């Protein structure tokens, strides 16, 4: 995709689309029992009004495969909501936007484990820059939202 046209689109869609938290559908999460940041991401979702059903599993990779998350977008946990995959520390704001916009896509990912993303907070407000990636089954990737680094 051409970067410029995409950026224009991003500005047009970056305005928060407010969706009432009440009645938000349930997010099903697969995580390993010892994953602290996975647990903290679940807490972030709950604080933002989502119902969460979390399953502890020995290995999350079969769930990535099942829900169509490509390995290069992998993170520490996999969630599902309304047929969309949520891989890694995806902020609640982008999940609400996903549910409102209903794009033709497989899901959203924040690949890796980014310091300062929801559930990956450190002391203070430090954050590494990261992107929330919208992906599809045909290898399509779009930056759905960009978060700047913060000291
Ligand atoms: Cu994590």
In sequence order, the 6+-apart residues with CB closer than 8 A to the CB of 23 are none
Q: Across residues 14-38, what is the average pLDDT?
A: 74
Residue-level pLDDT at 8: 47
Give the global pTM.
0.84
Give the Cα separation of 25 and 39 in Å (integer): 19
Residue 143's Cβ-count burial label (10 Å; 0-12, 13-18, 19+) is: middle
Give the Cα separation of 128 and 137 in Å (integer): 28
5 alpha carbon – ligand 1 mean position (Å): 32
Give the Cα separation of 23 and 57 in Å (integer): 27
Computed over every residue of the chain, the mean pLDDT equals 89
pLDDT at 85 over 50: yes
Q: Across residues 109-125, what is the average pLDDT?
A: 95
Cα 52 to the center of its chain, rounded Å: 14
Q: Report the 10 Å Cβ neighbour count for 18.
A: 9
120 alpha carbon – ligand 1 mean position (Å): 6
74 alpha carbon – ligand 1 mean position (Å): 10
Q: Across residues 106-124, what is the average pLDDT?
A: 96
Q: Which residues pair with 87 in a beta bridge?
A: 78, 109
Phi, psi angles (nearest 5°) of residue 83: 85, -5
59 alpha carbon – ligand 1 mean position (Å): 14
75 alpha carbon – ligand 1 mean position (Å): 7
């Amino acid at each position: 995709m051409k970067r410029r046209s995409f950026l224009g689109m991003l500005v047009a869609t970056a305005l928060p689309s407010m969706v009432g938290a009440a009645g938000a559908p349930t997010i099903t999460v697969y995580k390993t029992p010892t994953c602290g940041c996975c647990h903290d991401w679940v807490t972030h979702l709950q604080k933002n009004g989502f119902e969460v059903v979390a399953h502890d599993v020995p290995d999350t990779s079969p769930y990535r495969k099942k829900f169509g998350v490509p390995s290069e977008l992998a993170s520490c946990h996999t969630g599902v909501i309304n047929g969309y995959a949520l891989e890694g520390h995806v902020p609640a704001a982008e999940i609400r936007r996903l549910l409102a916009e209903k794009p033709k896509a497989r899901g959203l990912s924040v690949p890796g484990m980014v310091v300062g993303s929801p559930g990956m907070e450190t002391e203070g407000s430090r954050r590494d820059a990261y992107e929330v990636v919208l992906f599809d089954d045909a290898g399509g990737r779009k930056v759905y939202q960009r978060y700047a680094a913060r000291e």
